[in-house]
Amino acid sequence: MAPLDDAPSGSLKVRVKRKIYPASGVREAQPVLKDIAIDIEPRSFVVITGPSGCGKSTLLNIIAGLDKDYEGEVVLGGADTKVGYIFQSPRLLPWRTVGQNIALALPDGDPRHGRIDETLRQVGLEGFASQYPERLSLGMQRRAALARGFISEPDVLLMDEPFVSLDDPTAQGLRELLIGLWNRRPTTVVFITHDRTEAVMLGTRILRMSGANATIVQDETVRLSPSERTDRDKVLAEQQRIFRET
């Protein structure tokens, strides 16, 4: 992703005219994305939603700069803008402790190394710094991944279905945690989910993708105040408004 010094820090301009996975072996070339144009304001929480296989992770990898094989451009606003990526699987290194895994997100000598215990406390993992990831449940590993994503205070945070395959209360707890962390320090977030309730609860803006060769078919601002986001009825009403015709 190309940085642009005169665009506001934390803003994102995403243009994907075309993304095609090339043919390989017996598999034909597969067009996945077309004509995507998204401008993201700094400190907005953008949720991208759409059916399985429509190209959400492909788009996030392009935004992250992990996939450069596409037609278009991604421009990141501001000099020295830091980007964090929280993957669908927690991706903790099994041979490092939880604390060491989180430390990996920081450069050597960074004063924020002193904040690891405090960050673990914020995600409900107080006292787990010296444990190895295999001793943690999936939900706890997800929380550790959140701590790792947040400790380096990225200006742009990309999250790919970070709460799937958790039971409802655990996922809900992590969503409320994320809302709390984001309210305390709003950063630009691009969050992928196919869960519509989650989309409405978290997002300030929802983009819906659809189609075999997918593009953005809906772009909505979420009309919920921070306190309404944990109110189940308000969230459901807003979900019905946004997704009524689908």
Ligand X SMILES: Nc1ncnc2c1ncn2[C@@H]1O[C@H](COP(=O)(O)OP(=O)(O)OP(=O)(O)O)[C@@H](O)[C@H]1O
Applying CB under 6 A, the residues found at the interface with ligand X are: 21, 30, 32, 52-58, 194
Does the CA dihedral 128-134-136-142 come out positive or negative?
positive
129 is written with which tokens? 């710094």
What does the binding site for Mg ion look like in residue numbers (CB under 5 A)?
Answer: 57
Q: Among residues 63 and 129, whose Cβ is nearest to ligand X?
A: 63
Q: With CB cut-offs between 5 and 8 Å by kind, which of ligand X, Mg ion, none does residue 46 bind?
A: none
CB-CB contact of 8 with 35 (8 Å) = no
User: Tokens 């189609």 map to which residue?
Assistant: 211
Q: Among residues 55 and 77, whose Cβ is nearest to ligand X?
A: 55
Least CB distance from residue 160 to ligand X, whole Å?
A: 7
Least CB distance from residue 51 to Mg ion, whole Å?
A: 11
Q: Among residues 58 and 81, whose Cβ is nearest to Mg ion?
A: 58
How many residues in total does the chain contain?
A: 246
Report d(CA 104, CA 53) in Å as an integer. 31
CB-CB contact of 32 with 58 (8 Å) = yes
Which residue of the chain is nearest Mg ion when measured via CB? Answer: 57
Q: With CB cut-offs between 5 and 8 Å by kind, which of Mg ion, ligand X, none does residue 52 bind?
A: ligand X
Q: With CB cut-offs between 5 and 8 Å by kind, which of Mg ion, ligand X, none does residue 55 bind?
A: ligand X
Report d(CA 119, CA 4) in Å as an integer. 31
Q: With CB cut-offs between 5 and 8 Å by kind, which of Mg ion, ligand X, none does residue 53 bind?
A: ligand X
211 is written with which tokens? 């189609």
Residue 103 CB neighbour total at 10 angstroms: 19
Q: Among residues 65 and 226, whose Cβ is nearest to Mg ion?
A: 65
